[in-house]
Amino acid sequence: MRNWRNHSGLILPILTVAGLVLWPVITNNLSNREIVFTILKAIALASSLNILLGYTGYVSFGHIVFYGFGGYVGLYVVNDQGWSIWLGVLTGGIAAGAFAFLLGKAILRLRGAFFALATIGVNEAMEAFINNFDLFGGSIGITLNFSVYKTYGGAAQALNLTFYIMAALTFAAVLISYIVRTSKFGLGLRAIREDEDAAEIMGVIAPDAKNWAYVLSAIIPGMVGVLFFFKNGNVEPHVAFPLHSSIELLVMVMLGGQGTVFGPILGAIAYQGMRGYLLTSSFFKDIQLSVSGVLLLIIVLFIPEGAVGFLRRRFPPLRRILI
Amino acid sequence: MQQLSLLLASLPDGILLGFVYGVAAMGLTLIWGVMNVINLSHGPIIALGMFGTFFLFIRLGINPYLALIPIAIFGLLLGIVIYFAAVHRVINAPHLSSLLATFSVSMIIIGLGTAALTTSPYNVDFNMGSFRLGSTTILGTRLIAAVIAILIAGGLYIFLYRTRPGKYIRAVANNRDAAELMGIPSTRILALSFGLGTMLAAVSGAMIATFFPFNILSGGSYELKSFVIGVLGGLGNPIGALAAGLILGVLEGIIPAFMESSWVPVIEFGLFVIILLFRPQGLFGSKR
């Protein structure tokens, strides 16, 4: 960070996230806080997924498995072992990262659609397994003991705290995304995306690079999971591993522009905003999903590089700030 | 001894169901084999097939087995429409594009379906009697569905290996550029293959509707089963899919005799990932 001019790509992402965080703080409105919490969660998850999807070019259809798994582990240590939420979030992140490391060793050997299919299989297998795993409450899940909130000065204070932790996690996700994008490691990942065999010949140690990209993209979702389940007060298997959320994340990344830092942020805000609008409008309420589907189809067919990619292509001067 | 009798009771049921799963998976794997596209709108089309049986039988009183014919034609046409609307432009793009394009089709179908049909369960009350075989009872609907499934698989085999359009499909699957140089209209053949894939999905849905209650979201679990079966049998190998469907049916019949039935998906998806890792060409495929 010696020369700020070299980091002009970071300005827009940081300002956007900061603006989002400050909005409910300034208006002091609880419903705004909930809206922003959802958007921040989407930004954190989409930015993490982008490390694997956008930079490395591996399509994970079951990325939500890290969110569910990390969340389960974290909530378990908070509820049953009496750890603090800080340690719980950390544990969830470590658990998700370790899981991604082991899983990556196995399934990152697969390429293209086979990898995508395997991630779906892993997500479904994990959900079915947790459903039978008694330590985590089986199909009933874990319900947070209400007295846990007392440590943080009651439920209202605890919810306030989760908002700020969420904000911190979102900043962390965006920073990681930016650092990976601009580092030599990230350059290796993008070489893998373009042509994995050629990248290996040029000296990128592809298996290791892919595996670390997978781990990096799993840690933040694991932490977000803990936080979200802690805020909700309970977790059940079918809530923790929703396959459609994985795909919503893919849509956000595609919408904003895969492989860019600002793309997932823009995509997450646009998708959540659109979804909120469609769900509340009287005309689109019932066919909300169909309208999203048509929009997605148009993007995939006509602007596959996403909004940020499109702007970068059409307006080259913007490339300095939009990365 | 008790386990054995339980096994004998649930195994034939599982086998018969397996044939029908196999038909659904044949559709998925045919599309994959010809154009390397994983059709994520497979599940909603299965669900549409279910509703086809419901409306033709309950509302119009057409026999469910006779209704398979209009449902098959509808499935074929729907597939061709989906191909030209969503798949054709992204067929040479990276996998993510075709996955998301077919997924957006699935969102459109489910959205419209939910608005028109709600998500409350529907039931086709149709009974073909049953008979006892030793200690087990076999339902007539399942036996007939299994026979139809075998006929469909045989028909598909004859179509692919004995007729001209079938040979065209195999040629396009093998090498699209070379097929085009030989004068095969590859776009039309791709559309036809996609249509055949969705036709098989719709027909399997129509048969499943005579077994279980369903709603517009029910297709999802059969879509996942189709993935498992398709990978077991080798993606792109329709006949392998039927055999793998049988394996899955047997597993679903055997596992509940030894452990709680909630473990079935754990084993299914675990097996799925393991097969992907160690034999991505499927159980019956040769090493490529």
CB-nearest to A297 from B104, B114, B262 is B104
pLDDT band at B93 (very low <50, low <70, confident <90, very high): confident
Contacts A116 to B, Cβ<8 Å? 38, 95, 99
Q: What pLDDT is attached to residue B287?
A: 47
Dist CA B210 CA A296 (whole Å): 34
Q: Tokens at residue A210, please?
A: 């892919």
Please check the confidence at residue A3 and state whether its pLDDT lies above 70: no
Q: Are B233 and B242 in contact (CB under 8 A)?
A: yes
Dist CA A254 CA B98 (whole Å): 13
Contacts B114 to A, Cβ<8 Å? 286, 289
pTM of the model: 0.87
The pLDDT mean for chain B works out to 87
Dist CA B167 CA B175 (whole Å): 12
Q: What is the pLDDT of residues A22-34, one digit of tens each?
A: 998 888 888 889 8
Contact status of B110 with chain A (Cβ, < 8 Å): yes
Rounded alpha-carbon distances, angstroms, from residue B84 to A167, A292, B89, B111: 44, 20, 8, 20
Q: Are A274 and A266 in contact (CB under 8 A)?
A: no
Contact status of B163 with chain A (Cβ, < 8 Å): no
Mutation choice for B interface testing from A301, A303, A305 by most B CBs within 10 A: A301
Nearest residue of chain A to residue B227 (CA atoms): A117
Rounded alpha-carbon distances, angstroms, from residue B211 to B144, B214, B243, B254: 11, 9, 21, 19
Contact status of B229 with chain A (Cβ, < 8 Å): no
Q: What pLDDT is attached to residue A176?
A: 94
Contacts A113 to B, Cβ<8 Å? 32, 36, 38, 95, 99
Dist CA A180 CA A189 (whole Å): 9
- What phi and psi values does residue B185 have, to the nearest 5 degrees? -70, 90
Element (H, E) at A23: helix A11-27
Domains of chain B by range and CATH? 2-112+138-278 (1.10.3470)
Contacts B85 to A, Cβ<8 Å? 297
Q: What pLDDT is attached to residue A2?
A: 54
As a dihedral over the C-alpha atoms of residue B182, residue B186, residue B188, residue B194, rounded to 10 degrees, the angle is 130
Helices (H), chain B: 2-35, 42-53, 64-82, 95-117, 140-162, 164-174, 176-181, 186-208, 219-233, 238-258, 264-278
Domains of chain A by range and CATH? 4-320 (1.10.3470)
Tell me, what amino acid is at B157?
Y
Nearest residue of chain B to residue A108 (CA atoms): B277
Distance from CA of A241 to the nearest CA of B (A): 14
With an 8 Å Cβ cutoff, are B104 and A294 in contact?
yes
Contacts B227 to A, Cβ<8 Å? 117, 120-121
Contacts A287 to B, Cβ<8 Å? 111-112, 115
Dist CA B115 CA B123 (whole Å): 19
Strand ranges for chain A from DSSP E = 142-143, 234-235
More confident call, A279 vs B185 = B185
Q: Tokens at residue B80, please?
A: 């061709």
**Residues in contact with A312: Cβ distance below 8 Å, sequence separation at least 6, in sequence order:** A257, A260, A318, A319, A322
Query: What spatial distance separates the first Cα and last Cα of chain B, rounded to whole Å?
Result: 45
Please check the confidence at residue A39 and state whether its pLDDT lies above 90: yes
The pLDDT mean for chain A works out to 89
Q: What is the pLDDT of residues B101-152, one digit of tens each?
A: 998 999 899 989 988 888 888 888 877 778 777 667 788 888 889 999 999 9
Mutation choice for B interface testing from A297, A298, A302 by most B CBs within 10 A: A297
